[in-house]
Each structure stands twice: as structure tokens, then as C-alpha cells.
A and B are shown apart, each in its own frame.
Chain A
């Protein structure tokens, strides 16, 4: 069965500190992994996907198949990073996303 686990419900860091939001997954095949972000009063939006190997707003995430993890990292947190972050998994093709429970990141000035 597909499952996405985000162990931290809330993560508070100081501005300028490094951030790591954890995500582990369970999937029998080769999944596609994503991070979505939801800022206050805004719609859910795609932050990044593992196949693109990109860095968006300073965030990166590396898929570790051995540890079945896809942790989201940023070296220096900014106040505007405060939001709800969701890790999500999809099988190939037309299968829909399965979401983790989300982690609320709070960056303290």
C-alpha cells in the first residue's frame, strides 16, 4: 500500500537556521515524490518534485530509495517560509497523489 509519513506536525526554527522537514514513504514500485506548500490563505501549490532535481526558493529534496525518504531541506530559513508543507507520492501514469499529514513550519524572527 502507498503511504507517506511526515513525523513532525510542527517544526519551529529561528530565521537563518537550517531546516529539514522529514518525509518517509512506502511504495512497492518506483514512485514519484513531491513537496507541496500551502501558505496562509493560499491554495496548495507545487514546491518541487524529485524527478526535476531542482531547487525552488532555496529548498532541495533528495530521494533516498534505500531509506525510502524524501526530506526537504533549506540551509537558511526565512520568515516567508512559514507555511504548511505536504509530502506526496504518486505512482507512474495516471494515479493520484497520496499525501502525508503535513508539517507546519514556523520560522521565528
Chain B
């Protein structure tokens, strides 16, 4: 398994500002992903965080809006840029762990409210 921590756990932000969310994992992981869970909705994949290279974004998500970094195997950041109220969501970090084929674990999430 993997223990995943995210910071901050929640934040309230003003329109037009940016927020960076950090994800730290306690073990070596093969893959890291970022998901969004809008109020009352399911999880939607934003992107795959690639170590040392640009993230791979899903349709509807772009790097300018959601820049992602992954400097090493156990850490990643997601920035929500130029926020609007529509960005109010829970943002979740998720990982696949070496040796645990195909199983994904999820962080506690960051609850973002944009005013």
C-alpha cells in the first residue's frame, strides 16, 4: 500500500489567484495522477504526472490552467491557475505502487472553494 498526504487539506481562494497543491507519498510509486471531484460528481482524471517531463493531460484540461510538476518518484504538485468559482472542487492525488499491480491509492484530497 501507500500513505499519501496532501497539502493543504482545504483552502478558500479569491477569483483570479492561483493555488499549488502538494502530494507526498511514502513509498516508491510507478505512476502519479491528479483527479478532480466536483461537488456531487464522480472523479475525473486531470493528468498523469510524469517524472522529469511534462504531464500528460486529459481532454478538457490544459497545462496553462493546471501546471503539474513531478521532480522525483514520491512528490508532485498541481497548480490551479487563475481560479474561478467553477474550479471549486476536491482535488485528489493518486498513485500506483511498485509491486502492487494495477492498484491505485488515493490521497485525502484538497477541498478548494473559489469565491
- Interface residues, chain A, CB within 8 Å of chain B? 32, 34, 36, 43-46, 49, 51, 86, 88, 90, 92-94, 96-102
Rounded to whole angstroms, the CA-CA distance of A103 and B12 in the bound complex is: 28
- Interface residues, chain B, CB within 8 Å of chain A? 30-31, 33, 41-45, 48, 92, 94, 96, 102-109
Rounded to whole angstroms, the CA-CA distance of A32 and B104 in the bound complex is: 11
Q: What chain A residues lie within 8 Å of B44 (beta carbons)? A: 99
How many Cβ-Cβ contacts under 8 Å join chain A to chain B?
Answer: 47
Rounded to whole angstroms, the CA-CA distance of A32 and B96 in the bound complex is: 14
Given A43-B108, A94-B30, A99-B43, 6 new contacts (CB under 8 A): A34-B103, A43-B109, A90-B102, A96-B31, A96-B104, A99-B44
Name A94's contact: one of B43, B96, B107, B109 (CB within 8 Å). B96
Q: What chain A residues lie within 8 Å of B45 (beta carbons)? A: 96-98
Does A44 lie within 8 Å of B92, measured CB to CB? yes
Nearest B residue to A100 by beta-carbon distance?
B42
Does A96 lie within 8 Å of B102, measured CB to CB? no
Q: Top 10 closest A-B pairs, CB basis? A: A44-B106, A43-B108, A101-B42, A99-B43, A32-B102, A96-B33, A99-B42, A94-B31, A102-B42, A97-B104
Q: What chain B residues lie within 8 Å of A34 (beta carbons)? A: 103-104
| A–B complex contacts, Cβ < 8 Å, 30 sampled | A34-B103, A34-B104, A36-B106, A43-B107, A43-B108, A43-B109, A44-B43, A44-B106, A44-B109, A45-B106, A46-B103, A49-B102, A51-B102, A86-B43, A88-B104, A90-B104, A93-B102, A94-B31, A96-B31, A96-B45, A96-B48, A96-B94, A97-B43, A97-B45, A97-B94, A97-B104, A99-B43, A99-B44, A100-B42, A101-B42
Q: What chain B residues lie within 8 Å of A45 (beta carbons)? A: 106
